[in-house]
Amino acid sequence: MLTGKEYIESLRKRNIKVYFMGELLDSATLSENPFLRGHFNAAAMTYDMAFDPVCKDLLNVSSHLTGKTINRFTHVHQSCEDLVKKVKMLRAISLRTGSCYQRCVGCDALNAAYTVTYEMDKALGTQYHERLKKFLLYVQENDLMVAGAMTDPKGDRGLSPGKQADPDLFVHVVKRDDKGIVIRGAKCHMTGMINSHEMLVMPTMAMGPDDKDYAVACALPVDAPGVLHIFGRQTNDGRKADGDLDQGNPRFAVVGGECLTVLEDVFVPWEKVFMCGETDFAGLLVERFASYHRQNYGGCKGGVSDIVIGAAALAADMGGYAKAAHVKDKLNQMIHLTETLYCCSIACSAEGAKTASGAYYVNPLLANCSKHNVTSLIYEIDRLAQDIGGGILATMPSEKDMNHPEVGKYVQKYLRGTASVPTEDRIRVLRLLENMTGGVALVESMHGAGSPQAQKVMYSKLANLEMKKQCVKDLVGIK
pLDDT digits (tens, 9 = 90+) for 384-432: 999 999 999 999 999 999 999 999 999 999 999 999 999 999 999 999 9
Percentage of the chain beyond pLDDT 90 is: 92
Q: Give yes or no: residues 147 and 73 share one domain.
A: yes
* Per-residue confidence band for 443, with pLDDT thresholds at 50, 70 and 90: confident
Q: What does the alpha-carbon distance between residue 28 and residue 49 come to, in Å, rounded to a whole number?
A: 25
Q: Give yes or no: residues 228 and 123 share one domain.
A: yes
The enclosing domain of 32 has a CATH number of 2.40.110.10
- The neighbour count for residue 394, using CB atoms within 10 Å, is 11
* Catalytic option among 104, 218, 344, 348: 104
- What pLDDT is attached to residue 52? 96
Of 288, 254, 413, residue with least CA distance to 361: 288
* Catalytic option among 46, 191, 204, 437: 191
DSSP code per residue over 1-45: ---HHHHHHHHTT----EEETTEEPPGGGGGG-TTTHHHHHHHHH
Q: Give yes or no: residues 147 and 214 share one domain.
A: yes
Residue 148 lies in a domain: yes
Residue 184 lies in a domain: yes
**229: pLDDT strictly greater than 80:** yes
* Catalytic option among 107, 259, 276, 300: 300
* Per-residue confidence band for 344, with pLDDT thresholds at 50, 70 and 90: very high
Q: Give yes or no: residues 21 and 165 share one domain.
A: yes
Q: What does the alpha-carbon distance between residue 154 and residue 163 come to, in Å, rounded to a whole number?
A: 11
Q: What does the alpha-carbon distance between residue 300 and residue 296 come to, in Å, rounded to a whole number?
A: 6
Query: What is the mean predicted confidence (pLDDT) over 347-362?
Result: 98
Q: What does the alpha-carbon distance between residue 121 and residue 113 come to, in Å, rounded to a whole number?
A: 12
Query: What is the mean predicted confidence (pLDDT) over 140-169?
Result: 96
- What pLDDT is attached to residue 242? 83
DSSP class of 282: H
Query: What is the mean predicted confidence (pLDDT) over 231-241?
Result: 88
Could you tell me if 362 and 287 are in contact, meaning their C-beta atoms sit under 8 angstroms apart?
no
pLDDT 10s digits, 454-474: 898 888 889 999 999 999 999
Residue 287 lies in a domain: no
- What pLDDT is attached to residue 442? 82
Residue 177 dihedral angles phi and psi, to the nearest 5°: -150, -170
Could you tell me if 93 and 49 are in contact, meaning their C-beta atoms sit under 8 angstroms apart?
yes
* Catalytic option among 97, 100, 128, 287: 100
Q: Is 32 a catalytic residue?
A: no
Q: What does the alpha-carbon distance between residue 262 and residue 121 come to, in Å, rounded to a whole number?
A: 30
Sheet strands (E) in 65-215: 69-71, 146-149, 172-176, 180-187, 198-201
- What pLDDT is attached to residue 297? 95
Question: Which range among 106-115, 348-357, 364-373, 453-462 shows the weakest confidence by mean pLDDT?
Answer: 453-462
CA 164 to chain centre: 28
* Per-residue confidence band for 444, with pLDDT thresholds at 50, 70 and 90: confident
Q: Is 100 a catalytic residue?
A: yes
Could you tell me if 389 and 322 are in contact, meaning their C-beta atoms sit under 8 angstroms apart?
no
Of 138, 165, 141, 143, residue with least CA distance to 154: 165
- What pLDDT is attached to residue 255? 79
Residue 387 lies in a domain: yes
Write the CA distances from 48 to 51, 97, 123, 256, integer angstroms. 6, 12, 41, 18
Q: Is 191 a catalytic residue?
A: yes
Q: Give yes or no: residues 149 and 106 share one domain.
A: yes
- What pLDDT is attached to residue 234? 86
Q: Give yes or no: residues 310 and 277 share one domain.
A: no
Q: Is 444 a catalytic residue?
A: yes
- What pLDDT is attached to residue 67? 98
Question: Which range among 254-263, 291-300, 367-376, 388-397 shows the weakest confidence by mean pLDDT?
Answer: 254-263
Q: What does the alpha-carbon distance between residue 297 and residue 308 come to, in Å, rounded to a whole number?
A: 15
Query: What is the mean predicted confidence (pLDDT) over 273-288?
Result: 98
| Average pLDDT in the chain | 96
Q: Is 77 a catalytic residue?
A: no
Q: Give yes or no: residues 250 and 395 share one domain.
A: no
Q: What does the alpha-carbon distance between residue 135 and residue 143 come to, in Å, rounded to a whole number?
A: 12
Q: Give yes or no: residues 259 and 369 share one domain.
A: no
Residue 106 lies in a domain: yes
Q: Give yes or no: residues 243 and 366 share one domain.
A: no
pLDDT 10s digits, 21-57: 999 999 999 999 999 999 999 999 999 999 999 999 9
Q: What does the alpha-carbon distance between residue 5 and residue 469 come to, in Å, rounded to a whole number?
A: 57
- What pLDDT is attached to residue 243? 81
- What pLDDT is attached to residue 465? 92
**439: pLDDT strictly greater than 80:** no
Could you tell me if 248 and 431 are in contact, meaning their C-beta atoms sit under 8 angstroms apart?
yes
Residue 470 lies in a domain: no
Q: Examine the fold and report which residue of 229, 259, 281 is the final residue of a domain before the chain moves on.
A: 281
Q: Examine the fold and report which residue of 281, 308, 326 is the final residue of a domain before the chain moves on.
A: 281
Position 224, amino acid: A
Q: What does the alpha-carbon distance between residue 459 and residue 210 come to, in Å, rounded to a whole number?
A: 28
Question: Which range among 142-146, 231-235, 381-385, 390-394 shows the weakest confidence by mean pLDDT?
Answer: 231-235
- Give how many domains the chain has, as a whole number: 2
Query: What is the mean predicted confidence (pLDDT) over 95-114?
Result: 97
Position 439, amino acid: G
* Catalytic option among 261, 293, 344, 369: 293
Domain that holds residue 352: 292-463
364-138-182-103 Cα dihedral, nearest 10 degrees: 50
Query: What is the mean predicted confidence (pLDDT) over 336-362?
Result: 98
Residue 225 falls in which region: left (phi positive, over 0), alpha (psi -120 to 50) or beta: beta
- What pLDDT is attached to residue 289? 98
Q: Is 404 a catalytic residue?
A: no
Q: Is 261 a catalytic residue?
A: no
Q: Give yes or no: residues 239 and 344 share one domain.
A: no
Of 153, 181, 179, 147, residue with least CA distance to 166: 153
Q: Is 344 a catalytic residue?
A: no
* Catalytic option among 119, 258, 278, 399: 258
Position 219, amino acid: A
* Catalytic option among 119, 198, 399, 444: 444
Q: What does the alpha-carbon distance between residue 120 and residue 393 come to, in Å, rounded to a whole number?
A: 53
**308: pLDDT strictly greater than 80:** yes
**DSSP helix/strand/coil, 316:** helix
- What pLDDT is attached to residue 459? 87
Residue 474 lies in a domain: no
| Global confidence as pTM | 0.95
* Per-residue confidence band for 445, with pLDDT thresholds at 50, 70 and 90: confident
- Provide the pairing of β-strand 18-20 with 227-231: parallel
Q: Give yes or no: residues 350 and 396 share one domain.
A: yes
The enclosing domain of 393 has a CATH number of 1.20.140.10
DSSP class of 253: -
| Burial class of residue 339, CB neighbours in 10 A (0-12, 13-18, 19+) | middle
**195: pLDDT strictly greater than 80:** yes
Q: Give yes or no: residues 268 and 317 share one domain.
A: no
* Per-residue confidence band for 134, with pLDDT thresholds at 50, 70 and 90: very high
Residue 473 lies in a domain: no
**DSSP helix/strand/coil, 144:** coil
Query: What is the mean predicted confidence (pLDDT) over 75-79?
Result: 98
Write the CA distances from 354 to 1, 58, 345, integer angstroms. 27, 21, 18
- The neighbour count for residue 149, using CB atoms within 10 Å, is 31
